[in-house]
Chains A and B, each alone.
Chain A
Amino acid sequence: MQPSPLANPLAAVAQLETSGSRLDGIPQDLEDSVRYAGARLTQAAGVLLRLPQEVIAQAIIVFMRFWVGAEGGSLAEFGAGQVSASSLCLVTKLSAYPKSARSLVNVYAYLDAFPLPPMHTEPKEGKAEMYYVSEGTYERRRASLFETEQRILKTLGFQVQANLPYTLCITYMQALDVFTHPRVSELAKRAIAHLNTALLSPQLLYLTHQPPSLAIAAIYLAAREAGIKLPEAEWWEVFDTDREELGFLCVGFLSTEGFAEQEKERWAGRRVPLTVEEVNAEIKRRNEESDA
């Protein structure tokens, strides 16, 4: 009668209805953009720090959890860059790959140079960890890193752990007997890619659905795209997911890709505001634009 070790705490409906940022008057589309960019920043920083995807994914989930609900963090108080760095800091502490404040500060300083956090960084850009910041800057950022870490812990009531769908995804594929298929590695790659994209979803799919359902939706979509046949029967029900949830998740996965495209165009050549000052400046700019 123990609770499933695979279950995650999910966002309550009330938490999804509003956010700290919206209560502070930050437009929802701006919050969506910043959250998306912050999640990508976390992914990019994680790769530069040579962290396994499981660790990066947990950091992104912590980052996403932080903002939801009336009691969530607000962009008027916290920069997304700062919360991203502290999320990674926290999650790596609980992993087998703790990272020093120095490495974190340097990598984020390095990534500062990109307008929209890069989608694909290579860990061989190992220089990022050695990126130079002045001692004064370092001290300030380190202090902010740990201060924000505290705030994340308290905002989430110390719920900073998350189970992930990656291993499940492989297990389910085995159970579905697709491992004998000649193109199974293509299937697996596509499914994992969907899971990674969904981490960035503006619909916060990892905060609203349990890992088994996420894994199933990823396999379902990947199989359809790769033209690989899965059992005719409603196999997803074996894994505790109903058709409705599967459908919802598939739409959610695909719309994240559309959202990503749209964001790229929207911010072409401009910086997504990842600090409090930048967010304020963006709001001011918008107000002036609508005045003109």
Chain B
Amino acid sequence: MASRWADDEADKAEALRRKQDKEEKKRLKLQKQQQAGEAARAAKEASERPAKRRRLSNSEDATTEDTARTPKDPEKERKLLRFEGGRWAPCHHRSNFETLNHIEEGSYGWVSRAKDIATSQVVALKKVKMDYNQDGFPITALREIAILQKARHPNIVDLKEVVSGDTTEECVLVMEFLEHDLKTLQEDMHDPFVASEVKTLLRQLAGGVAFLHDNYIMHRDLKTSNILLNNRGQLKLADFGMARYIPPPSAPLTQLVVTLWYRAPELLLGTPNYGTEVDMWSMGCVMGELLLKTPVLPGTNEVDQLSRIFSLCGLPEEKSWPGFWRLPNAPSLKLPRGQRNKQSFDRTRFPFLSGAGVELLSSLLSLNPDDRPTAKAVLEHDYFREQPKPKPSEMFPTFPSKAGQEKRRKQSPHAPKRGDAPGLGKVDFSSIFSAQEEGEKGAGFMLKMA
């Protein structure tokens, strides 16, 4: 039998050997992984290049830009593989990307344009703000990532991976880069989109939203700055920081969702259970904004927001919106009584919109959530069938990209944060229409706090 000493020595040698063995294995493994990754990226690059500007010669159909690709399209097949037989691997490091320029500092993170060093592919990086609080990894970021992982659709921004940074907290979303968001783009455009372009955009928007709702996801922060557009006329939804799965009925939801200008009346009135209809309201606001090139309902606070809504869409009534008075904040409203004709949509604000267009817009902006069409129904709407037809995406004009070059200003309100208390106090709306009749425009009238 060997002595203790000899054993010890042997143990040490064995431990050392094991350690070296392990390090070597890890190194080989990593090397292999890197090679595989580079090969995959190269293959992907190669497959993307020819497909890039595929034109569908006689297609009238704009949103089919993506769906019309044949199933044999190599990019599609690769995608299928990735998610059918997908796997997991540790996060890559942020240093695999070289920052080109900052795009925007938003409410939840910083977004920049960057280059994947291995492939030269340009991507958008969104750094998640880590308000390290009592709850560990922020729930909102986790939800955003989880929902983006599941929401794979031509009209939803593609999350490629999540990378880690130098500090343990740093966490960065790697997304496909799109040249524009609709807000910045419209600010820089000289004229509004023409009718056929609005249709192309709106139909893609409805396509993305329909997919989300089909998959039990509410976006809850639809607005022009969260809608991206590339130079091929493709629109994609972004910013899922507020999104969540539709919870089981009766579970209370926070009303602190949707940036004020795009917030549905039932949310402003404090409903504890709302649904996908809040996204449809926002879609109405976006549609109006695309037509006017300026936000339709730019309220300065909750009360002002409601008054702008009522003056555009009419006043709520028990008949058109049963249950309205039972909403938490409704009793504090004082509405004018016995007014006729005031519950109808004010179409004079959209003088160039066709009858079908007004029908669609006013139905999206129905006060009663039940009266709003679903995203699927929007896709079927006559508005898209009548002349002018939606402009094919590939015919879409291109614009200089601000995101591609410089940092931008920021002025519209952010999505609400925890702590902004809902509730309106007592509000008197009885003067809304008299004020308007006296000649005041829009929502410039006075509101009394009763």
Which chain A residues have a beta carbon within 8 Å of chain B's beta carbons? Answer: 1-5, 7-12, 14-15, 18, 23-25, 65, 70-71, 89-90, 93-94, 96, 98, 101, 145-147, 149-150, 153-161, 291
**A5-B215, A94-B143 known; A10 vs B87 contact (CB < 8 Å):** yes
Which stretch from B97-105, B131-139, B202-210, B296-304 is at the chain A interface? B131-139
Q: Which residue of B lies closest to A95 (CB)?
A: B245
With A3-B79, A150-B169 as known contacts, state yes or no: A9 contacts B145, CB within 8 Å. Answer: no
Known: A2-B152, A25-B18. A145 touches B136 (CB 8 A): yes
- Residue from the list B7, B29, B84 in contact with A70, Cβ < 8 A: B29
B153 on the A face (CB < 8 A): yes
**Residue contact A70 to B26, C-beta cutoff 8 Å:** yes
Chain B 64-101 interface residues, beta-carbon cutoff 8 Å to A: 67, 71, 76, 79-80, 82-91
Q: Assess whether A23 is in contact with B25, with CB atoms less than 8 Å apart.
A: yes
B153 partner residues in chain A, CB cutoff 8 A: 2
Q: Is the CB of B91 within 8 A of A96?
A: no
Which residues does chain A contribute within 8 Å of B135, judged by CB atoms?
93, 101
Q: Is the CB of B136 within 8 A of A9?
A: no
- Contact present for A10 and B71 (CB under 8 Å): no
Residue contact B26 to A10, C-beta cutoff 8 Å: no
Residues of the A chain whose Cβ atoms lie less than 8 Å from the Cβ of B21? 23
Interfacial chain B residues near A158, Cβ < 8 Å: 91, 145, 149, 162
B100-136 CB mask vs A (1 if < 8 Å, else 0) is 0000000000000000000000000000000000111
Complex CA gap A8/B82 in Å reads 10
Closest A residue by C-beta to B28: A70
B450 contacts A by Cβ under 8 Å: no
> Which residues of chain A have C-beta atoms less than 8 A from B85's C-beta?
7, 10
B134 touches A161 (CB 8 A): no
A23 to B82: give the CA distance in the assembly, Å.
28
Chain B residue contacts of A65, Cβ below 8 A: 88
Residues of A within 8 A of B71 (CB): 1
B247: chain A residues at CB < 8 Å are 96
Between-chain CB contacts (< 8 Å), 12 pairs: A1-B80, A5-B215, A9-B87, A10-B86, A65-B88, A70-B25, A70-B29, A90-B142, A101-B134, A101-B135, A153-B91, A157-B161
The CA of A1 and the CA of B82, in the complex, are separated in Å by 13
Q: How distant is A71 from chain B, measured CB to nearest CB, in Å?
A: 5
**B interface vs A, CB < 8 Å?**
7, 15, 18, 21-22, 25-26, 29-30, 32, 67, 71, 76, 79-80, 82-91, 134-137, 139, 142-143, 145-146, 149-150, 152-153, 161-162, 164, 168-169, 171, 215, 245, 247-248, 251
B90 contacts A71, C-beta separation under 8 Å: yes
Complex: A80 Cα to B291 Cα, angstroms: 58
Nearest residue, chain B, Cβ from A74: B22
A5 CB contacts on chain B under 8 angstroms: 150, 215
Contacts of A8 in B (CB 8 A): 86
**Which residues does chain B contribute within 8 Å of A101, judged by CB atoms?**
134-136
| Residues A96 and B251 in contact in the complex (CB < 8 Å), given A70-B29, A156-B88, A158-B145 | yes
Whether the pair A96, B139 counts as a contact (CB closer than 8 A) is: no
Contact B146 A71 (CB under 8 A): no
Contact B146 A157 (CB under 8 A): no
The answer to whether B251 touches A23, judged by C-beta atoms less than 8 angstroms apart, is: no
Known: A71-B29, A94-B143. A9 touches B86 (CB 8 A): yes
Report the minimum CB–CB distance from A260 to chain B (whole Å): 27
Assembled-state Cα–Cα distance A10/B82 (Å): 11
Contacts of B169 in A (CB 8 A): 150
Whether A93 contacts B91 by the Cβ 8 Å rule is no
Inter-subunit contact B142/A94 (CB<8 Å): yes
* Cα of A70 to Cα of B79 in the assembled complex, Å: 26
- The answer to whether A3 and B152 have CB atoms under 8 Å apart is yes
Please give, as numbers and ranges, the residues of chain A lying within 8 Å of B25 by CB-CB distance. Answer: 18, 23, 70
A290–chain B nearest beta-carbon distance, Å: 11
Question: Cβ of B67: which chain A residues have Cβ within 8 Å of it?
Answer: 1
- What residues of B have a CB within 8 angstroms of the CB of A146 in the complex? 136-137
Question: Whose C-beta in chain A lies nearest to the C-beta of B11?
Answer: A287
Once the chains bind, are B89 and A71 in contact (CB under 8 Å)? yes
Roughly how many angstroms separate A155 CA and B168 CA in the complex, as a whole number? 12
CB of B26 to closest CB in A, whole Å = 6
B143 in contact with A157 (CB, 8 Å) = no
Contacts of A90 in B (CB 8 A): 137, 142
User: How far is it, in angstroms, between the C-alpha of A9 and the C-alpha of B89 when the chains are bound?
Assistant: 10
User: Chain B's nearest CB lies how many Å from the CB of A206?
Assistant: 13
Least Cβ–Cβ distance between A1 and chain B, in angstroms? 5
Asked whether, in the complex, the Cβ of A12 is within 8 Å of the Cβ of B136, the reply is no
Task: With A5-B215, A94-B143 as known contacts, state yes or no: A157 contacts B136, CB within 8 Å.
Answer: no
CA distance A10 to B88 in the complex (A): 7
Contact A157 B162 (CB under 8 A): yes
Contact B150 A161 (CB under 8 A): yes
Q: Which of B18, B87, B88, B137 has the most CB of A within 10 A?
A: B88
